[in-house]
Amino acid sequence: MTSKTSSGNNSKTHSAKLPDVPPVVNAEEAQAQAAILSSALPFLRRYAGDTIVVKYGGHAMGEGKLAHAFGYDIALLKLVGINPIVVHGGGPQISAMLDRLKIRSEFIDGLRVTDQSMVDVIEMVLSGSVNKQVAELINRAGALAVGISGKDGGLIQARRLTRMKRDLDSEIEKVIDLGFVGQPEKIDPRVLYALLGAGLIPVIAPVGVGADGETYNINADTAAGAIAGAVHASRLLMLTDVPGVLDENGKLIEELSAEEALRRIADGSISGGMIPKVETCLEAVRQGAKAAVILDGRVPHSCLLELFTRAGPGTLIKA
């Protein structure tokens, strides 16, 4: 009786209509697809059972087809035996909600100054609508994703982020109050291990909890880097709106050691918004991640290209 029931269930699974299955191809195209799958085998073996942390944001998050492809890519990683963890941003969605509520935003050094009323809205947007939308992208692709925030299970224990600014007239450095903007102080990965052990994909909103229970808004790049270090991820994949780290001639740098990355920051060849991204990657590697990659999230299937081909589209940073 048990055997019969099992057979019936398997038959039902095989006959069920899968979402967005490509149309039937001819023999030549099928052979080419099989060759592609076969060529990925060494990479599948390399990452089997490993943890990959993906920071999801930028253009890849806002464009429909790219978002759809991202969900399928993360589901694929799980289904071939890799353990993905997704940390997402949500800046544009936060700005849109604040505008609707007529709450004015102020930025200092790229960080949103956050008072109590604003942090409540930020938590609502990040941990609510955005978090569930990202998890649903993966669920629709056939894997099981669960949306959580950094407050759940004490995952991201945070403290207030401070910034110093030099007064141009007095030349005195002053502490800038950013409000409830935080930075990770400690990562407790037990909730992640519990979800991964149950076959689930954690999708994390970058909101942390302070020592007194206060809520902190945390930069998604920073949160992803801290989590990647804490779980000793094989890779931290940082999806951005640029190809990676570029040299003085605008050409992509395929690989950087920590020493070379620091030298390029010091001499100014890495500058502007790329500095905090590179520093996040360096900190992740220092804390235990094997390597980090800054790659172009505008390229469809950029995660798969980075992990499963020799033509990875980004800049690899390692110790």
Binding site, annotated residues for substrate = 90-91, 112, 217
Rg (the chain; Cα; Å): 21
Tell the burial category of 164 from Cβ atoms under 10 Å away from its Cβ (0-12, 13-18, 19+).
exposed
Please list, in sequence order, all residues whose beta carbon lies within 8 angstroms of the beta carbon of residue 209, skipping any fewer than 6 positions away.
Answer: 150, 151, 154, 156, 157, 158, 215, 216
What is the spatial distance between Cα 181 and Cα 154, in angstroms, rounded to a whole number?
17
What is the three-state SS of 114-167?
ECHHHHHHHHHHHHHHHHHHHHHHHHHCCCCEEEEECCHHHCEEEEECCEEEEC
Phi and psi for 86 in degrees, rounded to 5? Answer: -110, 130
